[in-house]
Structure 1
Amino acid sequence: MEAAKPGDPRQAADIALLAELLGQGGVAVLSGAGISTESGIPDYRGPTGQARRAEPMTYQRFVGSAEARRRYWARSHVGWQQIGQARPNAGHRAVAALERHGLLSGIITQNVDSLHQAAGARRVIELHGGLDRVVCLSCRERTARSDLDRRLREANPHWHATGHQINPDGDAVLTDEQVEGFQVVDCTGCGGLLKPDVIFFGENVPRARVDECFGMVARARALLVLGSSLAIKSGLRFVTKAAALGLPIAIVNQGPTGGDADAMLTLDAPLGATLTDLANQLGAQ
Protein backbone atom coordinates (compact mmCIF):
# COMPACT_ATOMS: atom_id res chain seq x y z
CA MET A 1 0.00 0.00 0.00
CA GLU A 2 1.11 3.60 -0.63
CA ALA A 3 2.81 5.28 2.33
CA ALA A 4 1.22 8.23 4.04
CA LYS A 5 3.62 11.18 3.80
CA PRO A 6 4.18 14.18 6.12
CA GLY A 7 1.12 16.44 5.99
CA ASP A 8 -1.14 13.65 4.75
CA PRO A 9 -4.20 13.37 7.05
CA ARG A 10 -3.69 9.61 7.08
CA GLN A 11 -0.36 9.94 8.87
CA ALA A 12 -1.80 10.66 12.32
CA ALA A 13 -4.09 7.65 11.97
CA ASP A 14 -1.19 5.48 10.83
CA ILE A 15 0.95 6.57 13.79
CA ALA A 16 -1.91 5.72 16.13
CA LEU A 17 -2.23 2.30 14.47
CA LEU A 18 1.51 1.77 14.77
CA ALA A 19 1.39 2.69 18.46
CA GLU A 20 -1.40 0.15 18.95
CA LEU A 21 0.67 -2.52 17.18
CA LEU A 22 3.76 -1.80 19.28
CA GLY A 23 1.76 -1.54 22.47
CA GLN A 24 0.85 -5.21 22.24
CA GLY A 25 4.55 -6.16 22.49
CA GLY A 26 6.44 -9.02 20.88
CA VAL A 27 7.60 -6.88 17.94
CA ALA A 28 10.76 -7.74 16.03
CA VAL A 29 12.58 -4.81 14.42
CA LEU A 30 14.48 -4.89 11.12
CA SER A 31 16.54 -1.71 10.71
CA GLY A 32 18.50 -0.32 7.78
CA ALA A 33 20.72 2.61 6.91
CA GLY A 34 17.87 5.12 7.06
CA ILE A 35 17.80 5.00 10.85
CA SER A 36 21.44 6.16 11.01
CA THR A 37 21.35 9.08 8.57
CA GLU A 38 20.47 11.47 11.41
CA SER A 39 23.76 10.42 13.03
CA GLY A 40 25.65 11.66 9.96
CA ILE A 41 26.05 8.27 8.30
CA PRO A 42 24.80 8.29 4.69
CA ASP A 43 22.71 5.58 3.09
CA TYR A 44 22.90 4.04 -0.37
CA ARG A 45 19.33 4.30 -1.62
CA GLY A 46 17.44 6.78 0.54
CA PRO A 47 17.36 10.58 0.28
CA THR A 48 21.05 10.99 1.24
CA GLY A 49 22.22 8.28 -1.12
CA GLN A 50 20.50 9.13 -4.37
CA ALA A 51 23.62 10.71 -5.88
CA ARG A 52 26.04 8.16 -4.45
CA ARG A 53 27.74 6.13 -7.16
CA ALA A 54 30.79 4.64 -5.40
CA GLU A 55 31.35 0.96 -6.14
CA PRO A 56 31.59 -1.03 -2.88
CA MET A 57 34.50 -3.36 -2.23
CA THR A 58 33.85 -7.03 -3.00
CA TYR A 59 35.27 -9.90 -1.01
CA GLN A 60 36.91 -11.36 -4.10
CA ARG A 61 38.78 -8.16 -4.92
CA PHE A 62 39.81 -7.65 -1.31
CA VAL A 63 41.44 -11.08 -0.86
CA GLY A 64 42.81 -11.25 -4.41
CA SER A 65 44.65 -7.94 -4.73
CA ALA A 66 47.18 -6.24 -2.45
CA GLU A 67 46.49 -2.97 -4.26
CA ALA A 68 42.75 -3.35 -3.64
CA ARG A 69 43.45 -3.89 0.08
CA ARG A 70 45.71 -0.82 0.17
CA ARG A 71 42.98 1.27 -1.45
CA TYR A 72 40.31 -0.13 0.86
CA TRP A 73 42.26 0.41 4.08
CA ALA A 74 43.36 3.93 3.08
CA ARG A 75 39.77 4.90 2.36
CA SER A 76 38.43 3.10 5.41
CA HIS A 77 41.08 4.67 7.66
CA VAL A 78 39.81 8.11 6.68
CA GLY A 79 36.14 7.11 6.81
CA TRP A 80 36.50 5.56 10.25
CA GLN A 81 37.24 9.00 11.70
CA GLN A 82 33.60 9.90 10.96
CA ILE A 83 31.94 6.50 11.46
CA GLY A 84 33.81 5.83 14.71
CA GLN A 85 32.74 9.17 16.16
CA ALA A 86 29.07 8.86 15.18
CA ARG A 87 26.63 8.84 18.08
CA PRO A 88 23.15 7.35 18.41
CA ASN A 89 20.34 9.64 17.31
CA ALA A 90 16.78 10.00 18.56
CA GLY A 91 15.65 7.01 16.49
CA HIS A 92 18.23 4.66 18.02
CA ARG A 93 17.42 5.92 21.49
CA ALA A 94 13.68 5.43 20.95
CA VAL A 95 14.20 1.84 19.77
CA ALA A 96 16.31 1.12 22.85
CA ALA A 97 13.61 2.66 25.05
CA LEU A 98 10.92 0.51 23.42
CA GLU A 99 13.06 -2.57 24.09
CA ARG A 100 13.59 -1.61 27.74
CA HIS A 101 9.83 -1.12 28.03
CA GLY A 102 9.36 -4.77 27.04
CA LEU A 103 7.70 -4.12 23.68
CA LEU A 104 10.42 -5.50 21.35
CA SER A 105 11.43 -9.12 21.06
CA GLY A 106 14.69 -8.24 19.31
CA ILE A 107 16.41 -6.17 16.64
CA ILE A 108 17.92 -7.32 13.35
CA THR A 109 20.06 -4.55 11.90
CA GLN A 110 21.56 -4.40 8.43
CA ASN A 111 23.81 -1.58 9.64
CA VAL A 112 27.47 -1.99 10.60
CA ASP A 113 27.73 1.11 12.82
CA SER A 114 26.80 -0.50 16.20
CA LEU A 115 24.65 2.52 17.06
CA HIS A 116 21.73 0.44 18.32
CA GLN A 117 24.01 -1.05 20.98
CA ALA A 118 25.54 2.34 21.76
CA ALA A 119 22.01 3.62 22.44
CA GLY A 120 21.46 0.82 24.95
CA ALA A 121 19.67 -1.88 22.91
CA ARG A 122 20.59 -5.39 24.05
CA ARG A 123 18.97 -8.02 21.83
CA VAL A 124 20.65 -6.99 18.57
CA ILE A 125 21.73 -9.25 15.70
CA GLU A 126 24.20 -7.50 13.38
CA LEU A 127 23.28 -9.18 10.11
CA HIS A 128 26.25 -7.73 8.22
CA GLY A 129 28.71 -7.51 11.13
CA GLY A 130 30.28 -4.44 12.71
CA LEU A 131 32.93 -1.94 11.62
CA ASP A 132 34.14 -1.58 15.21
CA ARG A 133 35.85 -4.98 14.93
CA VAL A 134 38.57 -6.45 12.71
CA VAL A 135 39.05 -10.14 11.89
CA CYS A 136 42.16 -11.99 10.70
CA LEU A 137 41.35 -14.14 7.67
CA SER A 138 43.95 -16.72 8.74
CA CYS A 139 43.68 -17.25 12.51
CA ARG A 140 40.17 -15.68 12.80
CA GLU A 141 41.15 -13.60 15.83
CA ARG A 142 38.92 -10.57 16.31
CA THR A 143 40.34 -7.32 17.63
CA ALA A 144 39.04 -3.81 18.22
CA ARG A 145 39.00 -1.36 15.32
CA SER A 146 40.48 1.24 17.66
CA ASP A 147 43.63 -0.93 17.95
CA LEU A 148 43.93 -1.12 14.17
CA ASP A 149 43.38 2.63 13.87
CA ARG A 150 46.31 3.22 16.23
CA ARG A 151 48.56 0.78 14.33
CA LEU A 152 47.71 2.37 10.97
CA ARG A 153 48.53 5.80 12.36
CA GLU A 154 51.88 4.51 13.57
CA ALA A 155 52.61 2.86 10.21
CA ASN A 156 51.72 6.04 8.29
CA PRO A 157 53.06 8.92 10.42
CA HIS A 158 53.37 11.35 7.49
CA TRP A 159 50.29 10.26 5.54
CA HIS A 160 47.24 12.48 5.60
CA ALA A 161 44.15 12.55 3.42
CA THR A 162 40.70 14.03 3.67
CA GLY A 163 37.78 12.43 1.87
CA HIS A 164 35.12 14.73 0.45
CA GLN A 165 32.51 11.97 0.64
CA ILE A 166 31.95 9.16 3.16
CA ASN A 167 30.10 6.03 2.07
CA PRO A 168 27.68 3.99 4.22
CA ASP A 169 30.16 1.10 4.53
CA GLY A 170 32.62 3.44 6.23
CA ASP A 171 35.11 4.34 3.53
CA ALA A 172 35.96 7.72 2.05
CA VAL A 173 36.31 8.64 -1.60
CA LEU A 174 40.04 9.26 -2.22
CA THR A 175 42.10 9.88 -5.35
CA ASP A 176 44.83 7.52 -6.56
CA GLU A 177 47.42 10.08 -5.46
CA GLN A 178 46.00 10.12 -1.94
CA VAL A 179 46.08 6.32 -1.69
CA GLU A 180 49.65 6.03 -2.99
CA GLY A 181 52.17 5.29 -0.25
CA PHE A 182 49.63 4.14 2.35
CA GLN A 183 51.01 1.23 4.37
CA VAL A 184 48.72 -1.65 5.34
CA VAL A 185 49.35 -3.67 8.52
CA ASP A 186 48.67 -7.37 9.10
CA CYS A 187 47.62 -9.55 12.04
CA THR A 188 49.99 -9.20 15.00
CA GLY A 189 49.41 -12.83 15.93
CA CYS A 190 49.98 -14.73 12.68
CA GLY A 191 50.74 -12.16 10.00
CA GLY A 192 47.50 -12.91 8.16
CA LEU A 193 45.32 -10.49 6.22
CA LEU A 194 43.06 -8.25 8.27
CA LYS A 195 39.52 -7.48 7.18
CA PRO A 196 36.78 -5.47 8.88
CA ASP A 197 34.36 -7.83 10.61
CA VAL A 198 31.62 -7.05 8.11
CA ILE A 199 30.08 -8.87 5.17
CA PHE A 200 31.46 -7.59 1.87
CA PHE A 201 29.55 -7.78 -1.39
CA GLY A 202 30.10 -11.27 -2.80
CA GLU A 203 30.43 -12.75 0.69
CA ASN A 204 27.69 -14.78 2.35
CA VAL A 205 26.22 -14.01 5.75
CA PRO A 206 26.99 -17.03 7.99
CA ARG A 207 24.13 -19.51 7.87
CA ALA A 208 23.84 -19.67 11.66
CA ARG A 209 23.34 -15.89 11.80
CA VAL A 210 20.65 -15.99 9.12
CA ASP A 211 18.88 -18.81 10.94
CA GLU A 212 19.02 -16.81 14.19
CA CYS A 213 17.32 -13.90 12.40
CA PHE A 214 14.64 -16.16 10.92
CA GLY A 215 14.07 -17.56 14.40
CA MET A 216 13.61 -14.07 15.83
CA VAL A 217 11.00 -13.31 13.17
CA ALA A 218 9.21 -16.64 13.69
CA ARG A 219 8.89 -15.99 17.44
CA ALA A 220 7.64 -12.44 16.97
CA ARG A 221 4.04 -11.24 17.03
CA ALA A 222 4.75 -8.55 14.40
CA LEU A 223 7.60 -7.11 12.32
CA LEU A 224 8.54 -3.41 12.24
CA VAL A 225 10.90 -2.27 9.46
CA LEU A 226 12.81 0.96 10.13
CA GLY A 227 14.82 2.87 7.55
CA SER A 228 15.36 0.11 5.00
CA SER A 229 14.50 0.27 1.31
CA LEU A 230 14.40 -3.56 1.26
CA ALA A 231 15.97 -3.36 -2.17
CA ILE A 232 18.11 -6.47 -1.74
CA LYS A 233 17.31 -9.99 -0.62
CA SER A 234 19.49 -9.75 2.48
CA GLY A 235 16.80 -7.79 4.35
CA LEU A 236 13.73 -8.47 2.23
CA ARG A 237 13.79 -12.19 3.02
CA PHE A 238 12.74 -11.49 6.61
CA VAL A 239 9.75 -9.47 5.45
CA THR A 240 8.87 -12.30 3.07
CA LYS A 241 9.14 -14.75 5.99
CA ALA A 242 6.93 -12.60 8.22
CA ALA A 243 4.34 -12.32 5.46
CA ALA A 244 4.36 -16.10 4.96
CA LEU A 245 3.72 -16.52 8.69
CA GLY A 246 0.82 -14.09 8.56
CA LEU A 247 2.49 -11.56 10.86
CA PRO A 248 1.45 -7.90 10.77
CA ILE A 249 4.19 -5.86 9.05
CA ALA A 250 4.70 -2.12 9.48
CA ILE A 251 7.30 -0.06 7.62
CA VAL A 252 8.63 3.39 8.54
CA ASN A 253 10.97 4.67 5.82
CA GLN A 254 11.58 7.76 3.75
CA GLY A 255 10.64 6.56 0.29
CA PRO A 256 9.08 3.36 -1.09
CA THR A 257 10.44 -0.07 -0.18
CA GLY A 258 10.51 -3.53 -1.69
CA GLY A 259 8.24 -4.78 1.09
CA ASP A 260 5.40 -2.27 0.79
CA ALA A 261 3.06 -4.77 -0.85
CA ASP A 262 3.24 -7.05 2.22
CA ALA A 263 2.82 -4.29 4.83
CA MET A 264 -0.36 -3.54 6.75
CA LEU A 265 0.87 0.05 6.99
CA THR A 266 3.71 2.08 5.52
CA LEU A 267 4.75 5.45 6.88
CA ASP A 268 6.94 7.89 4.93
CA ALA A 269 8.38 9.99 7.74
CA PRO A 270 11.64 10.99 9.49
CA LEU A 271 12.74 8.16 11.75
CA GLY A 272 13.98 10.16 14.74
CA ALA A 273 10.90 12.28 15.35
CA THR A 274 8.44 9.51 14.49
CA LEU A 275 10.00 6.90 16.78
CA THR A 276 10.42 9.39 19.61
CA ASP A 277 6.73 10.27 19.34
CA LEU A 278 5.80 6.58 19.40
CA ALA A 279 7.98 5.88 22.42
CA ASN A 280 6.46 8.81 24.29
CA GLN A 281 2.92 7.72 23.44
CA LEU A 282 3.68 4.27 24.82
CA GLY A 283 5.35 5.55 27.99
CA ALA A 284 8.75 4.19 27.01
CA GLN A 285 11.33 6.59 28.47
Structure 2
Amino acid sequence: MTLIEIAEHMRQRRALFLTGAGISVGAGIPTYRTQDGEWARSTPITDTQFRQSSSMRQRYWARSFVGWPLTSRAQPTQTHRRLALWHQHEFLPELITQNVDRLHQKAGFDRAIDIHGRLDRVLCLQCSAPMHRDHWQLELARANPQLKNLRADQLPDGDADLPDEIIHTVTVPACPYCGGVMMPDVVFFGGNIPKLISERTQALAREAGVLVVLGSSLKVYSGYRLCRLTVEYGGALAIVNPGPTRADSIATVRFNQTAEEFTEYLDALLTS
Protein backbone atom coordinates (compact mmCIF):
# COMPACT_ATOMS: atom_id res chain seq x y z
CA MET A 1 0.00 0.00 0.00
CA THR A 2 1.60 3.25 -1.20
CA LEU A 3 0.66 6.90 -0.82
CA ILE A 4 -0.52 6.85 -4.42
CA GLU A 5 -2.85 3.93 -3.64
CA ILE A 6 -4.20 5.69 -0.54
CA ALA A 7 -4.89 8.78 -2.66
CA GLU A 8 -6.73 6.62 -5.19
CA HIS A 9 -8.90 5.11 -2.44
CA MET A 10 -9.72 8.66 -1.33
CA ARG A 11 -10.75 9.64 -4.86
CA GLN A 12 -13.06 6.62 -4.85
CA ARG A 13 -14.43 7.66 -1.42
CA ARG A 14 -13.27 4.35 0.06
CA ALA A 15 -10.77 5.70 2.60
CA LEU A 16 -11.48 6.19 6.30
CA PHE A 17 -9.25 8.12 8.69
CA LEU A 18 -8.97 7.48 12.44
CA THR A 19 -7.19 10.33 14.22
CA GLY A 20 -5.53 10.46 17.62
CA ALA A 21 -3.89 12.90 19.99
CA GLY A 22 -0.78 13.22 17.83
CA ILE A 23 -2.56 15.51 15.38
CA SER A 24 -3.42 18.06 18.10
CA VAL A 25 0.04 18.45 19.62
CA GLY A 26 0.71 21.34 17.26
CA ALA A 27 -2.36 23.09 18.70
CA GLY A 28 -0.75 23.08 22.14
CA ILE A 29 -2.71 20.11 23.51
CA PRO A 30 -0.37 17.50 25.08
CA THR A 31 -0.79 13.75 24.56
CA TYR A 32 -1.45 11.25 27.34
CA ARG A 33 1.42 9.05 26.22
CA THR A 34 5.05 9.32 25.21
CA GLN A 35 6.21 8.41 21.70
CA ASP A 36 6.77 4.86 22.99
CA GLY A 37 3.14 4.60 24.11
CA GLU A 38 3.78 4.90 27.87
CA TRP A 39 1.88 7.23 30.19
CA ALA A 40 3.45 10.70 30.12
CA ARG A 41 1.86 11.67 33.46
CA SER A 42 -0.32 10.04 36.10
CA THR A 43 -3.06 7.62 35.03
CA PRO A 44 -6.32 9.48 34.19
CA ILE A 45 -9.47 9.21 36.31
CA THR A 46 -11.69 6.29 35.32
CA ASP A 47 -15.42 6.35 34.61
CA THR A 48 -16.20 4.49 37.83
CA GLN A 49 -14.04 6.78 39.93
CA PHE A 50 -15.76 9.89 38.58
CA ARG A 51 -19.27 8.53 39.07
CA GLN A 52 -18.73 7.07 42.54
CA SER A 53 -16.26 9.38 44.27
CA SER A 54 -17.00 13.00 45.19
CA SER A 55 -13.29 13.56 45.92
CA MET A 56 -12.40 12.36 42.42
CA ARG A 57 -14.97 14.74 40.93
CA GLN A 58 -13.48 17.52 43.04
CA ARG A 59 -10.03 16.66 41.67
CA TYR A 60 -11.25 16.48 38.10
CA TRP A 61 -13.14 19.78 38.09
CA ALA A 62 -10.42 21.68 39.97
CA ARG A 63 -7.85 20.68 37.37
CA SER A 64 -10.28 21.12 34.48
CA PHE A 65 -11.16 24.63 35.63
CA VAL A 66 -7.54 25.67 35.15
CA GLY A 67 -6.90 23.61 32.01
CA TRP A 68 -10.10 24.30 30.06
CA PRO A 69 -9.40 27.90 28.92
CA LEU A 70 -6.28 26.91 26.97
CA THR A 71 -8.03 23.91 25.40
CA SER A 72 -11.06 25.99 24.44
CA ARG A 73 -8.83 28.56 22.71
CA ALA A 74 -6.86 25.93 20.76
CA GLN A 75 -7.04 26.30 16.99
CA PRO A 76 -6.89 23.59 14.30
CA THR A 77 -3.49 22.57 13.02
CA GLN A 78 -2.49 22.32 9.38
CA THR A 79 -3.40 18.62 9.57
CA HIS A 80 -6.94 19.42 10.76
CA ARG A 81 -7.32 21.96 7.96
CA ARG A 82 -6.10 19.54 5.28
CA LEU A 83 -8.52 16.85 6.45
CA ALA A 84 -11.39 19.37 6.43
CA LEU A 85 -10.45 20.47 2.91
CA TRP A 86 -10.44 16.85 1.72
CA HIS A 87 -13.86 16.44 3.31
CA GLN A 88 -15.18 19.50 1.48
CA HIS A 89 -13.77 18.10 -1.78
CA GLU A 90 -15.56 14.81 -0.99
CA PHE A 91 -12.39 12.73 -0.68
CA LEU A 92 -13.35 11.94 2.94
CA PRO A 93 -17.11 11.65 3.53
CA GLU A 94 -16.60 10.88 7.23
CA LEU A 95 -13.81 10.62 9.78
CA ILE A 96 -13.46 9.05 13.24
CA THR A 97 -11.49 10.81 15.94
CA GLN A 98 -10.40 9.62 19.36
CA ASN A 99 -9.84 13.25 20.35
CA VAL A 100 -12.35 15.22 22.42
CA ASP A 101 -11.05 18.69 21.50
CA ARG A 102 -13.50 19.36 18.60
CA LEU A 103 -10.68 20.74 16.44
CA HIS A 104 -11.91 18.79 13.41
CA GLN A 105 -15.24 20.59 13.67
CA LYS A 106 -13.52 23.95 14.18
CA ALA A 107 -11.60 23.30 10.96
CA GLY A 108 -14.85 22.65 9.05
CA PHE A 109 -15.09 18.84 9.07
CA ASP A 110 -18.78 18.62 9.97
CA ARG A 111 -19.05 14.81 9.77
CA ALA A 112 -16.24 13.97 12.16
CA ILE A 113 -17.40 11.32 14.64
CA ASP A 114 -16.21 11.91 18.21
CA ILE A 115 -15.88 8.29 19.31
CA HIS A 116 -14.75 9.33 22.81
CA GLY A 117 -17.13 12.26 23.19
CA ARG A 118 -16.64 16.00 23.30
CA LEU A 119 -15.05 18.12 25.99
CA ASP A 120 -17.05 21.25 25.18
CA ARG A 121 -20.26 19.84 26.68
CA VAL A 122 -21.28 18.79 30.20
CA LEU A 123 -24.23 16.52 31.02
CA CYS A 124 -26.18 15.81 34.20
CA LEU A 125 -25.99 12.13 35.17
CA GLN A 126 -29.50 12.32 36.66
CA CYS A 127 -31.66 14.39 34.27
CA SER A 128 -29.31 14.42 31.22
CA ALA A 129 -29.55 18.21 30.94
CA PRO A 130 -26.75 19.50 28.68
CA MET A 131 -24.64 22.57 29.36
CA HIS A 132 -21.88 24.14 27.30
CA ARG A 133 -18.51 23.83 28.98
CA ASP A 134 -18.04 27.62 28.93
CA HIS A 135 -21.28 28.04 30.92
CA TRP A 136 -20.12 25.37 33.37
CA GLN A 137 -16.84 27.27 33.70
CA LEU A 138 -18.83 30.27 34.95
CA GLU A 139 -20.64 28.06 37.46
CA LEU A 140 -17.31 26.75 38.75
CA ALA A 141 -15.89 30.27 38.92
CA ARG A 142 -18.82 31.56 40.96
CA ALA A 143 -18.43 28.69 43.44
CA ASN A 144 -14.62 28.98 43.62
CA PRO A 145 -13.36 32.58 43.60
CA GLN A 146 -10.05 31.32 45.05
CA LEU A 147 -9.23 29.77 41.68
CA LYS A 148 -9.30 33.07 39.80
CA ASN A 149 -6.09 33.78 37.86
CA LEU A 150 -4.59 30.42 38.91
CA ARG A 151 -2.10 28.98 36.40
CA ALA A 152 -0.64 25.48 36.11
CA ASP A 153 1.10 23.15 33.65
CA GLN A 154 -1.24 22.08 30.86
CA LEU A 155 -2.08 18.36 30.55
CA PRO A 156 -4.15 16.42 27.97
CA ASP A 157 -7.87 16.99 27.44
CA GLY A 158 -8.19 20.25 29.34
CA ASP A 159 -6.48 18.92 32.46
CA ALA A 160 -3.88 20.81 34.53
CA ASP A 161 -1.40 19.91 37.25
CA LEU A 162 -2.61 21.26 40.65
CA PRO A 163 -1.39 20.57 44.20
CA ASP A 164 -3.73 18.74 46.59
CA GLU A 165 -3.98 21.71 48.95
CA ILE A 166 -5.72 23.70 46.21
CA ILE A 167 -7.87 20.80 44.99
CA HIS A 168 -9.26 20.24 48.49
CA THR A 169 -10.66 23.80 48.59
CA VAL A 170 -12.83 23.34 45.51
CA THR A 171 -16.62 23.25 45.62
CA VAL A 172 -18.30 21.38 42.75
CA PRO A 173 -21.72 22.84 41.86
CA ALA A 174 -24.70 20.55 41.31
CA CYS A 175 -26.91 20.45 38.23
CA PRO A 176 -28.90 23.72 38.26
CA TYR A 177 -32.03 21.86 37.12
CA CYS A 178 -32.23 18.80 39.37
CA GLY A 179 -29.29 18.95 41.78
CA GLY A 180 -27.60 15.97 40.15
CA VAL A 181 -23.96 15.27 39.31
CA MET A 182 -22.49 17.01 36.27
CA MET A 183 -20.03 15.08 34.09
CA PRO A 184 -18.15 16.03 30.91
CA ASP A 185 -19.64 14.45 27.80
CA VAL A 186 -16.60 12.27 27.20
CA VAL A 187 -15.89 8.55 27.49
CA PHE A 188 -13.63 8.16 30.51
CA PHE A 189 -11.23 5.22 30.75
CA GLY A 190 -13.37 2.17 31.50
CA GLY A 191 -16.53 3.85 30.20
CA ASN A 192 -18.72 2.75 27.30
CA ILE A 193 -18.96 4.31 23.87
CA PRO A 194 -22.62 5.17 23.10
CA LYS A 195 -24.30 2.35 21.16
CA LEU A 196 -25.19 4.35 18.04
CA ILE A 197 -21.66 5.74 17.72
CA SER A 198 -20.13 2.30 18.27
CA GLU A 199 -22.35 0.75 15.60
CA ARG A 200 -21.68 3.53 13.09
CA THR A 201 -17.90 3.53 13.51
CA GLN A 202 -17.71 -0.25 13.27
CA ALA A 203 -19.79 -0.19 10.08
CA LEU A 204 -17.43 2.40 8.57
CA ALA A 205 -14.41 0.29 9.52
CA ARG A 206 -15.89 -2.82 7.91
CA GLU A 207 -16.66 -0.95 4.67
CA ALA A 208 -13.33 0.90 4.33
CA GLY A 209 -11.02 0.04 1.47
CA VAL A 210 -8.23 1.48 3.59
CA LEU A 211 -8.21 2.70 7.19
CA VAL A 212 -5.55 5.34 7.83
CA VAL A 213 -4.60 5.74 11.50
CA LEU A 214 -3.18 9.21 12.02
CA GLY A 215 -1.29 10.09 15.21
CA SER A 216 -2.44 7.36 17.60
CA SER A 217 -0.63 4.62 19.52
CA LEU A 218 -3.94 2.67 19.54
CA LYS A 219 -3.43 1.69 23.18
CA VAL A 220 -7.15 2.24 23.80
CA TYR A 221 -9.06 -0.82 22.59
CA SER A 222 -11.83 1.08 20.79
CA GLY A 223 -9.40 2.31 18.12
CA TYR A 224 -7.57 -1.00 17.87
CA ARG A 225 -10.88 -2.83 17.38
CA LEU A 226 -11.66 -0.68 14.35
CA CYS A 227 -8.28 -1.59 12.86
CA ARG A 228 -8.99 -5.28 13.32
CA LEU A 229 -12.42 -4.94 11.72
CA THR A 230 -11.03 -3.28 8.61
CA VAL A 231 -8.39 -5.99 8.20
CA GLU A 232 -10.86 -8.82 8.90
CA TYR A 233 -13.19 -7.50 6.19
CA GLY A 234 -10.43 -7.28 3.59
CA GLY A 235 -9.43 -3.64 3.86
CA ALA A 236 -5.90 -2.29 4.12
CA LEU A 237 -4.54 -0.72 7.32
CA ALA A 238 -2.11 2.19 7.04
CA ILE A 239 -0.57 3.49 10.27
CA VAL A 240 1.01 6.94 10.46
CA ASN A 241 2.82 7.47 13.77
CA PRO A 242 6.40 8.29 14.81
CA GLY A 243 6.34 5.61 17.52
CA PRO A 244 5.08 2.02 17.82
CA THR A 245 1.37 1.22 17.94
CA ARG A 246 -0.75 -1.65 19.17
CA ALA A 247 -1.76 -2.56 15.60
CA ASP A 248 1.68 -2.65 13.98
CA SER A 249 1.55 -6.44 13.61
CA ILE A 250 -1.62 -6.31 11.48
CA ALA A 251 -0.78 -3.16 9.49
CA THR A 252 -0.51 -3.31 5.72
CA VAL A 253 1.96 -0.43 5.79
CA ARG A 254 3.54 1.87 8.38
CA PHE A 255 4.65 5.45 7.82
CA ASN A 256 7.09 6.52 10.52
CA GLN A 257 6.10 10.16 10.13
CA THR A 258 4.19 12.89 11.89
CA ALA A 259 0.63 13.55 10.79
CA GLU A 260 1.65 16.89 9.31
CA GLU A 261 4.40 15.35 7.16
CA PHE A 262 2.14 12.57 5.92
CA THR A 263 -0.81 14.81 5.07
CA GLU A 264 1.46 17.27 3.27
CA TYR A 265 2.72 14.52 0.94
CA LEU A 266 -0.78 13.11 0.46
CA ASP A 267 -2.24 16.54 -0.26
CA ALA A 268 0.34 17.06 -3.01
CA LEU A 269 -0.86 13.84 -4.67
CA LEU A 270 -4.54 14.73 -4.35
CA THR A 271 -4.10 18.20 -5.83
CA SER A 272 -1.68 17.25 -8.61
Under a length normalisation based on structure 1, what TM-score does the superposition of the two structures give? Answer: 0.88
Offset, 1:49? 7.4
Partner of 2:187: 199
Gaps spanning 5+ residues in structure 1: where? 1-12
Q: Residue 158 of structure 2 aligns to a residue in which SS?
A: coil
Equivalenced residue count is: 271
Which amino acid counterpart does residue 237 of structure 2 have in structure 1? I
Structure with greater contact order relative to length (CA < 8 Å, sep ≥ 6) = 1
Provide the secondary structure at the position in 2 that maps to 1:192: coil
Match of 1:94 in 2: 82
Contact 2:239 2:254 in 1 (8 A): yes
User: SS of the counterpart of 1:169?
Assistant: helix
Correspondence for 1:36:
24
Q: Which one is further off, 127-136 or 183-192?
A: 183-192
What is the rounded CA distance, in whole Å, between the counterparts of 1:229 and 1:51 in structure 2? 11
Per-residue deviation, residues 20-64 of structure 1 (Å, max 9, x unmatched): 443443211111111111111111224397562312111222122
Letter in 2 for 1:238: L
Partner of 2:125 in structure 1? 137
Residues 28 and 106, structure 1, Cα contact 8 Å, conserved in 2:
yes
Aligned residue number for residue 162 of structure 1 = 151
Identity of aligned residues (%): 40
Aligned 8 A contact 2:36 2:243 in 1: no
The Cα shift of 1:262 comes to 2.1
Distance 1:223 1:75, change over 3 A: same
Q: For 2:117 and 2:64, how far apart are their aligned partners in 1?
A: 15
Equivalent in the alignment of 1:104:
92
CA distance in 2: counterparts of 1:156 and 1:177, whole angstroms: 14
The one of 199, 218, 230 equivalent to 1:242 is: 230
Q: TM-score, normalised by structure 2?
A: 0.92
The two structures, once aligned, show a CA RMSD in angstroms of: 2.0
Match of 1:7 in 2: none
Q: d(CA) in 2 for partners of 1:232 and 1:67?
A: 26
State whether residues 243 and 262 of structure 1, in contact with CA within 8 Å, keep that contact through their aligned partners in structure 2: yes
CA deviation string 1:96-133 (max 9, x = no partner)? 11111211131111111011111111211111100000
Check the 8 A contact 2:6/2:210 in 1, yes or no: no
Between stretches 44-53 and 250-259, larger displacement belongs to 44-53
Kindly indicate whether the alpha-carbon contact (under 8 Å) linking 2:63 and 2:160 is maintained by their aligned counterparts in 1: yes
Is 1:79 aligned to residue 67 of structure 2?
yes
